[in-house]
Structure 1
Amino acid sequence: MARGKKKETLTPEERLQAALIPESEQPYKVPENWCWVKFGTVCKFENGYAFKSERFTKNQGIPVVRISNIVDNSIALDDCVYTTEIDIDSKYIIHNGDLLIAMSGATTGKNGIYDSDKIAYLNQRVGNIKVIDQTVLDPFFRNFYISSAEQQILNSAYGGAQPNISSSKICDMSFPLPPLPEQQRIVDRIESRFAKLDEAKQKAQDALDSFETRKAAILHKAFTGELTAQWRKEHGIGMESWEKAILKNVCKVNPKKIDTNGLPDNLEVSFFPMASLSEINGEITEPQTRLLKDVKMGFTNFSEGDVVFAKITPCMENGKSAIIGELINDIGYGTTEFYVLRCGEKLYNRYLYHMVRDITFRNKAKSVMAGAVGQQRVPKSFMENYPLNLPSVPEQTEIVRILDDLLAKEQQAKETAEGVLEQIDLIKKAILARAFRGELGTNDPSEESALELLYANV
């Protein structure tokens, strides 16, 4: 019986050539003492294990790292599942410093460092990218490279709406390999620059996180009279001028529909679905035009100057409310999930608008919502009987003037902070792009080429 052919053994030179990226396929030029290699030459890839979900527990056993645990370039174990399975191959054990990556779904390519000495297991569709030899590749250099390649990895995924990436795709990526000392200098330079950016990012994030708190404080001052203390002093009146009332006594909640008898069915009117209300700035952003015959039954009717307030979850909690502006043929309709609030002579509509958008009002409304989960609504009785401490209309007008000014400044500060965060992310991407081109000013051309190091270790 003939024996099979013995597997051909490659020489070191042949193995090196197999590891290198041909010059014609190299993405861009790098310093002379760098070399382009296949990523799988310097890193090995471990796929996760398909654990039995029926063996998952909330807090007993060994934690299992899933895609959802990869958060902000780290691994969050505070919301992970555990398994009681113990007969697991050691290759599925995660170690401190391992780089984990999402292999499927909308977040394909997101990655994070496991920074814990606790034993944890690798779940399916999570990959573990391990450095083969730390005398060739610095793990921190690997981390920054994969972080920079996140979008590239997602773009190379397959599967349409549910993208997937294979380990072979990642291992075949072209990887710029500098000499080890240069890798470490690059890591130091990146960390130094990122530290300064992270300090600025934290300040911008703090400003962003405190936006709602600052806004709530301003509104509290408005509805307790603090904003207009000077105005009252100038007008010779005190807080005794404020009257106690309930909303239905100064405002109609869902007033009667207008009489459309005699109007042609093909009359064009304004129509506002829930999606047309911006929860960010309380404006109507996408008004529609409908024919009267299509909306006069089964929809909510309103007039110019009315305040509309979303009564259903989660639209109410998100602050969907607006003042109705100019309407086509002076007629407007919208979803029945709006409460229509029509102010009487003692209530200025812009004052009411600010009041119902205030988090204090919405929190009280949320506490009384009723109905099935996902379909909870604010009862009409809550709206009608909501207690007010109401200033005069001239003072309401002054409060609105001050509020509009202060809230506009706060919104501008928020947008500035958001812009800073976006800019910082762009700067970080630019730093990484330059780092992997050898453009950070750290390269020493007299150092031994990475090719020599690779030859000695492949």
Structure 2
Amino acid sequence: MAGKRKKESGLTLEERLKRALVPEEEQPYHVPENWVWTRLDEINHFFSQTLNPATRPEQIFELYSVPSCENNFPEIVLGSEIGSSKQYVLKNDILLCKINPRINRVWIVTGHTDHSYLASSEWIVVRTTRCNPRYLLWLFQGPYFREQMLSNVSGVGGSLMRAQPKWVNRYMLPIPPGQEQERIVDRIESLFAKLDEAKEKAQAAVDGFETRKSAILQKAFTSMLTKSWREKHTATTWVKVRLETIAALQTGLMKGKHYDTATVQRPYLRVANVQDGFLDLGEIKMIEVEETKVNRYMLQTNDVLFTEGGDFDKLGRGTVWKGEIKNCLHQNHIFAVRPQKDRLDPYFLSYQAGSRYGKQYFLSCSKQTTNLASINSKQLNSFPVLLPCISEQQEIVRILDDLLAKEQKAKEAAAAVLERIDLIKKSILARAFRGELGTNDPSEESAVELLKQCLAEGEVVP
């Protein structure tokens, strides 16, 4: 029997109740007087039953797997489409995921159809007729229960780590009277609904950042951002020129070469260091280089760095080197473009390469595989730069810096709201299962009576 210790023969209901109640000195924290602490297996009446769907190939099943529940709906499938035996479950059973990284993901068998319900072996199944399933759902997602789950896993690293049902079923649970369970669920779900409204707006602000950034860059490189500036200044017409006519391209140093001449160790940039619009310099490695070739591969302030390849959305990204690390070189998968100072502003080039115009060019000429794309030095040199005069370039950079800084600030503020909402939810769940949401009625019958009913029903479960 999964989820229940073998019943000790000869015990009366009162003796079983005494055994089921957690002594005060062992209770994890204080709860209201009319609540009780017990262990999960005392209220869990689930008996493990498996079914091989191959024996019923034409029957339709409602299948609860962890991936399908991530999509907020179980799979409705034929038995012939299910490749292995599954747990047979019932409506209102609570499913608790036991495998990392989804440990503590909880689902209730809602019974969307009239078909039989099956659950994959990734779930620990809890079945109780006296406790509110949604109370247990929120309890299992709360910080107290989650900490127990994460502190008691076994296996060999990563996705193979899992919680053991025999231990999970011995975890202690705070159980309030039935009506209080309902009030707690109502209060949690009411508060969470309001928080989810705020979360949806904040998430939209975060998700919309790239769209807003793309629109701003589009205006910049169709001369719309500097329309009023052009009216006040003598500005030349924009022209389109190949990058190699206004900048020099420097290729990088290949790793793993063996040298016969004297060498030195120097810091160097890897692809991992060059991100979309910024540098990640948290880890800088050293590379061996011929002493006479150091200057050949040395980065200079205001070089624009391009990665040779990467994800489609990152292809052609340009990041300006500001001399952050002295005597720094770059590997061969990074190109360093050195603009002519009087003709091309490095930040103007960086922004243009990351605009819709720039990305369309690099994608159009790149070598592409399933998930990656790459460019070579010839294609980069051929990039057709949209070029106004240097003063207008600098004005565009100034406007973009200001607008995108405001957008970045708004994005960070929205991200902070998301973090705050998650913390508030954790706080609500922590308070809920301590009886601190203001819903408890101390005059209600003690949950001891509810626990008695659970134990009595457990005696007759087949």
Q: TM-score range by the shorter chain?
A: 0.7 to 0.9
Q: Distance in 1 between matches of 2:404 and 2:291?
A: 38
Amino acid at match of 1:107: R
Alignment of 1:10-409 (within 5 A): 10-45=11-46, 62=61, 64-71=63-70, 75-77=72-74, 83-84=79-80, 91-93=87-89, 95=91, 97-115=92-110, 117-118=112-113, 119=115, 120-130=117-127, 132-133=128-129, 136-148=130-142, 149-161=145-157, 162-237=160-235, 241-254=237-250, 265=262, 269-279=266-276, 281-282=278-279, 284-290=281-287, 292-293=289-290, 302-314=299-311, 317=314, 321-326=318-323, 331-344=327-340, 345-358=342-355, 360-370=357-367, 373=370, 376-409=373-406
Q: Distance in 2 between matches of 1:295 and 1:8?
A: 87
2:450 aligns to what SS in structure 1?
Answer: helix
Match of 1:3 in 2: none
C-alpha contact 2:60 2:77 (8 A) present in aligned 1: no
Q: Distance in 1 between matches of 2:413 and 2:345?
A: 31
In structure 2, relative to structure 1, the CA distance for the partners of 1:337 and 1:88 (3 Å cut) is closer
1:241 aligns to what SS in structure 2?
Answer: coil
Q: Distance in 2 between matches of 1:28 and 1:438?
A: 11
Q: Distance in 2 between matches of 1:362 and 1:17?
A: 70
In structure 2, relative to structure 1, the CA distance for the partners of 1:81 and 1:366 (3 Å cut) is farther
Is the counterpart of residue 410 in structure 1 residue 411 in structure 2? no
Q: Distance in 1 between matches of 2:27 and 2:368?
A: 61
Q: Which runs of 5+ in 1 are unaligned?
A: 1-5, 258-263
In structure 2, relative to structure 1, the CA distance for the partners of 1:328 and 1:35 (3 Å cut) is closer
Q: Distance in 2 between matches of 1:14 and 1:413?
A: 61
Q: Distance in 2 between matches of 1:382 and 1:87?
A: 49
In structure 2, relative to structure 1, the CA distance for the partners of 1:89 and 1:376 (3 Å cut) is closer
C-alpha contact 1:177 1:450 (8 A) present in aligned 2: yes
Q: Distance in 2 between matches of 1:296 and 1:11?
A: 88
In structure 2, relative to structure 1, the CA distance for the partners of 1:285 and 1:90 (3 Å cut) is closer
C-alpha contact 1:434 1:440 (8 A) present in aligned 2: yes
Residue by residue, what CA displacement relative to the aligned partner does 1:250-288 show, whole Å, maximum 9, x if unpaired? 22333699xxxxxx9465644112222244634645444
Amino acid at match of 2:250: N
Superposition deviation, residue 343 in structure 1:
1.3
Is the counterpart of residue 8 in structure 1 residue 9 in structure 2? yes
In structure 2, relative to structure 1, the CA distance for the partners of 1:388 and 1:319 (3 Å cut) is closer
1:107 aligns to what SS in structure 2?
Answer: coil
Superposition deviation, residue 403 in structure 1:
0.7
Superposition deviation, residue 21 in structure 1:
1.4
Superposition deviation, residue 98 in structure 1:
4.0
Amino acid at match of 2:436: E
- TM-score by length of structure 2 reads 0.82
Superposition deviation, residue 293 in structure 1:
3.5
Match of 2:420 in 1: 423
In structure 2, relative to structure 1, the CA distance for the partners of 1:249 and 1:98 (3 Å cut) is farther
C-alpha contact 1:269 1:328 (8 A) present in aligned 2: no
Amino acid at match of 1:68: P
Q: Distance in 1 between matches of 2:11 and 2:86?
A: 30
Superposition deviation, residue 14 in structure 1:
1.6
1:313 aligns to what SS in structure 2?
Answer: strand
Superposition deviation, residue 218 in structure 1:
0.8
C-alpha contact 2:252 2:331 (8 A) present in aligned 1: no
- TM-score by length of structure 1 reads 0.83
In structure 2, relative to structure 1, the CA distance for the partners of 1:93 and 1:175 (3 Å cut) is closer
Superposition deviation, residue 429 in structure 1:
0.6
Which piece of structure 1 moves more, 35-44 or 376-385?
A: 376-385
Q: Which runs of 5+ in 2 are unaligned?
A: 1-6, 254-260, 456-462
Among residues 431, 436, 439, which one is paired with 1:434 in the alignment? 431
Residue by residue, what CA displacement relative to the aligned partner does 1:19-64 show, whole Å, maximum 9, x if unpaired? 2212221101111100001122223457796979x99x9xx96464
In structure 2, relative to structure 1, the CA distance for the partners of 1:226 and 1:147 (3 Å cut) is same
Q: Distance in 1 between matches of 2:133 and 2:13?
A: 24
1:453 aligns to what SS in structure 2?
Answer: helix
Taking every aligned residue pair, what percent have the same amino acid on both sides?
Answer: 34
Q: Distance in 1 between matches of 2:148 and 2:350?
A: 46
Q: Distance in 2 between matches of 1:295 and 1:20?
A: 79
- Alpha-carbon RMSD: 3.5
C-alpha contact 1:102 1:109 (8 A) present in aligned 2: yes
Match of 1:456 in 2: 453
Superposition deviation, residue 187 in structure 1:
1.1
Superposition deviation, residue 151 in structure 1:
3.9
Amino acid at match of 2:232: E
Superposition deviation, residue 141 in structure 1:
0.6
Amino acid at match of 1:43: N
Q: Distance in 2 between matches of 1:452 and 1:303?
A: 77
2:402 aligns to what SS in structure 1?
Answer: helix
Residue by residue, what CA displacement relative to the aligned partner does 1:203-237 show, whole Å, maximum 9, x if unpaired? 10110111110111111111111111111112144
Q: Distance in 2 between matches of 1:295 and 1:117?
A: 73
Q: Distance in 2 between matches of 1:321 and 1:48?
A: 58
